[in-house]
Structure 1
Amino acid sequence: MTSLESPTASDTPGTVAPRDFPIRRGCPFAAPAEYAALRTDDPVARVTLPTRREAWVVTRYDDVRELLSDPRASADIRRPGFPALGEGEQEAGARFRPFIRTDAPEHTRYRRMLLPAFTVRRVRAMRPAVQARVDEILDGMLDAGGPVDFVTAYANAVSTSVICELLGIPRHDLEFFRDVTRISGSRNSTAEQVSEALGGLFGLLAGLVAERREEPRDDLISKLVTDHLVPGHVTTDQLLSTLGITINAGRETTTSMIALSTLLLLDRPELLAELRKDPALMPAAVDELLRVLSVADSIPLRVAAEDIELSGRTVPADDGVIALLAGANHDPEQFDDPERVDFRRTDNHHVAFGYGVHQCIGQHLARLELEVALETLVRRVPTLRLAGERDQVVVKHDSATFGLEELMVTW
C-alpha cells in the first residue's frame, strides 16, 4: 500500500507520481482511508496496477455515476488499455468473453437473455424456496455444533445453493464453486490457473447443457438452451461463458456480503439489537450494509474509447479507468456522515451494484438472499459470537471481491 502523503513530482494536478493500486482497507467495514484524500485532492487519480500498467481511479459519487453511464467508457476486456488488476484476469477474460466485460450490442443481447429470471416479480416468488433452503443450511450448521467456519458453513452455502438451484445445477460440492472463484477472482492467479479453474466449471456446465437439450426441465439452463442455444442465437461456448459468469458473480459477492455483514453486526451489538427490536428494518439495513461494505469496489473496470472529462481532469482515449464504488458510497457530498452505519438512512441511492447499463442484473436476488440469510440468523441464533480473537478473522485483500476468507463462530 502506498501512502497518499508521498507523491513526488510537482503539485500540479496530474503530474504526481502514480500511486500503487489497489489500496488495502484499514477497517473491513469502510473504504480505504486514502479514498477520502483522493476525493478531495485528486478525484481522478493516476495509479499503477499490480500488472505495472498505469490507469486512473475515480472516487467521487457524481463522477462514478457519470463514468458508468457514459457510452464512451468501454467494458470490453479485449482492449489493450483494459485496467485488469491481474494478468490472468485479462488473458482469460479475453479468451472466455464474460458478458459483463463486453459492450453493446453484445452485452445487451446477453443481458436480455438473463433478465426474465431476475425481475422483481420472479425474485419475489422465490422467497419461500430461499427461506426453506436457508433454514435447512442453518439447521445443518447448528446440528454440527460450533466452532465452525461461518463462510463455509453458512455464507457460501446459502449463496451458492440459491444460484445453483435457480440455474438447475444439482447439489454439488459447494466448495468447488468457491474454489473456482477463489482462483479466477484472485489478482495473483496466472492465465493458466484461471483457465484451468474455469475449464473445470465449464466442463460441469457442458454436461448439464447437453442433458437439458435432451430433457428440458423447469430451470434457467433449460430455458436458455431451449430459447437461445437450440435456435442458434448463441453458441455452446457463449452459453457456457454466460452461465459461468452468472454463477461466479452471483455467488461470490453475496457470500462476501453475508459474512462481512455478520461480522459487522457481531462487532456492533447495538445494531444487532436494533434489528431484533424491529425486524421490519431488514430491507433498509441490507441496503445500508451494501453501501457501507461495497464489496465490489473495484469491479467496474473501463477503457476510455474517447477522451472523457471528469472533475476537470481528462482521461485520454485508450486509458484504463476504474470507478471505485466504495469511494462513491462513502462520499460525504452524497451521504451524510457516510462512515456511520444507519439502518434508518433515507434516500440511500448507493452504487454498490454499479450503475448504468452494466448495473448488476442479479441485484434483486442478492437483496433477497441477504434479507433472508441475515434475518434468519438474527432470529434463530441469538447467542452467535466469534470463536477466537477478533484479529484472527481472515480478510481477503487480493480478490476481485472484498470479503472474508474465514470467520470462526460459535453460539
Structure 2
Amino acid sequence: MKRVIILGATGSIGTQTLDVIKNFRDNFKVVGLTAYNNVDLLAQQIEEFNPEVVAVKDENKAYKLKAKINKNIEILTGQKGLQNIVEYEADLVVVAVEGIAGLLPTVKAIERGKDIALANKEVLVTAGKIVMDLAKKKKINFLPVDSEHSAILQCLRGNDKKEISRLILTASGGPFRGMKYEDLKKVTVEQTLRHPNWKMGKKITVDSATLMNKGFEVIEAKWLFDISEDKIDVIVHPQSIIHSMVEYIDGSVIAQLATADMRIPIQYALNYPTRNYINGINFLDFSITTQLTFEKPDLETFRCLSLAYEALKIGGTMTTVLNAADEIAVSLFLNKKIEFLQIAEIIEESMKEHNNIQNPTLDDIINVDKEVKEKIAKKYMR
C-alpha cells in the first residue's frame, strides 16, 4: 500500500486526487492532508480518509477545525506545518498547493527520499535546477501531474532521449483565442474565468487566458526532461484532445490523447509506472471526434508566453521574477485593481528592473519572490 501526503487537499487538484484514491482504496493510504483555510471541506476529508496528520496555514482556522472533528489527529499550523508534514512516513507527496509556498516542502520531501507528484508550477519555474539536481541525487521519482507534462512523460517511455527532436506542448488558447490586442482592452474577470475546456482554479485559468500558463510549462519541461528551450515548442490545439507530443529525429511524432479530465494524469502519477481504470472517466469516441486543429500562438497579442521564453533564456532568478510578478498581477486582476492587458505589462516591467542572480540559492529565490511582490503591491494596491 502506497502512503500518500497531499499538500493542497482542498483545491481543485487536491480534491480530484482524493477522488482518484477512492477508486483504489486497497492501493493507497492517505497519511496527511493540508489546507489553507477551507476547514469545512478538510473536516469532511478527515472523516472520509482518516489521515494521521493535517496542516492548516491559517492558525485561527486550525482551532475551528479542531472543534469540528472528533478524531484523535495531529493538527499542524502555519508555513512550518506545511513543511513539517512531509517528514511523516510516506512514499509519495502530491504537491498541489498554490504558489511558492510549495517550494520548501517539496525540497524537504525530496531530501527525505519521498517520490513527488507535482501539480505546482512555481517549484520548477523558480528553482528548477536546484530541485531536479536534488531529485537526481536522491534517486526519487519526480512525476508531473500537469496533463501536458504527463503526456510527454508517456510519449517518452521506452525511447532514447538522444532521439528527441523536440517537445511540443499543446495549448487550448483559452477563452480569448483569436482575439487581438484591441479586443482584450475591456475583457472582464468573469469572461476570463470561462475556460472553454478545463475546470481549474482561478489563478491557473487566468494564466491560461494570457498564455502564461504555457510559458510556465515550457520552463517546467526544460527541467523535467532535461532539454534546452530551443527544442520546446508550443502549438494551439483548441480541442484539448492531444495533450502534448514528442517529435523524434526520424520525423515520427508520438502524441498522447485523452478527454479533458485531470483525473487521468493524476492517476498516472499516483499509479506510476502502471495504469488503472477510474470510475466516471469518459473515453474518447473517435466516431464523433471530427476535428483536430492546430495553429501558431499569437505571441504579439499574448506576450506572456514570449516573456517566459525570455526569462528562461536569461536564467537565474529571472524566472522567479516572472513567476512572482505574474502571481501578484493575476491577483490584482482578479480583485479588479488592474485590467487584463496590464498583467503582461507588470511582468515585463518587473523583469526589466531586476538585477539577475545567475546561480541563486533557495534563500535568494525566496527573497527575490518577496521583493518583487512587495514592490508591485506597493505600486498598485493604493
Q: TM-score range by the shorter chain?
A: under 0.3
When normalised by structure 1's length, the TM-score is 0.25
Larger relative contact order, structure 1 or 2 (CA cutoff 8 Å, min sep 6): 1
